[in-house]
Structure 1
Amino acid sequence: MSARDTIETYFTAFNAGETDKMLDCLADDIAHHVNEGQVREGKEKFAAFNDHMTRCYKEELTDMVIFVNEDGTRAAAEFIVNGTYLATDEGLPEAKGQTYRLPAGSFFSLRDGKITRVVTYYNLADWIRQVSA
């Protein structure tokens, strides 16, 4: 599978809520750099993070643009996060079903067709403003 195919499969699985298919795109030694959080290493920690996110948020990514370098070892994606805040996440405002829309981006490293690193960025202050309004 090409790097572009891997990234497209990863995001298609995200939008479908299919964590197992997302995990299939990852190398066993995945390094997951969470926005404003700690680096989580390994598929088990990635799956636990996704379980937590699924409980607290319902999100769909749109307006996706994917960029891949020539040798397929690095990629990036820019997109819009369209979400609903379902359950209060520790240290964040109370969830009341608020909706939000945020520009975001992810950066990837790949090896042998698998994602070895994913870094996602969005503006947390903007998200807090939207769900606190």
Structure 2
Amino acid sequence: MSQAEITLAAYYAAFNAGDPTGMLALVTDDVEHRVNEGGIRRGREKFAEFCAHMGVSYREQLHDLVIFTSPDGTRGAAEFTVHGEYLKTDPGLPEARGQRYVLPAGAFFDLREGKIARITTFYNLSDWVAMVSA
């Protein structure tokens, strides 16, 4: 397993363990975090704020994880299925009532010196809204 694969596998293991400290240990100080239909968070502090918010509003586990990396170890991607529960209403989104959802998603990464320098996450927000609104 390459260093890039090890880093990404550890990142997702920390995610599934509900361990934001473990996730933060794997990102660069200047990490860029991009989520579809959202803004760009720059820096470890902004990413930590996002992780804290997600931990309150959602409970998620990722299944069917497949990790891909470039031969030079500077880029990566992952595909997975999110199994989640919507715990606390996010502003601008439907009201949270503990709704459960299962949603395909993916992410792209830049890696530098064994750490994650960019995370770009994609999922279908319309599908998620439909699931939690039903």
TM-score band, normalised by the shorter chain? over 0.9
What is the percent sequence identity of the aligned residues?
57
Deviation string, structure 1 residues 18-58 (Cα, Å, up to 9, x no partner): 00110111011100002211100000000000111111000
CA distance in 1, matches of 2:61, 2:55: 12
Aligned to 1:88: 89
CA distance in 2, matches of 1:19, 1:132: 28
Aligned to 2:105: 104
Q: Partner of 2:10: helix, strand, or coil?
A: helix
**Equivalences, count:** 133
Deviation string, structure 1 residues 50-97 (Cα, Å, up to 9, x no partner): 111111000000000000010000000000000000010000000000
CA distance in 1, matches of 2:48, 2:25: 11
Q: Partner of 2:88: helix, strand, or coil?
A: coil
Aligned to 2:56: 55
Letter of the 1:74 counterpart: R
Aligned to 2:34: 33
* TM-score normalised to structure 2 length: 0.98
Q: Partner of 1:131: helix, strand, or coil?
A: helix
Q: Cα RMSD over matched residues? A: 0.8
CA distance in 1, matches of 2:24, 2:55: 15
| Structure 1, unpaired ranges of 5+ | none
CA distance in 2, matches of 1:51, 1:34: 16
| Structure 2, unpaired ranges of 5+ | none
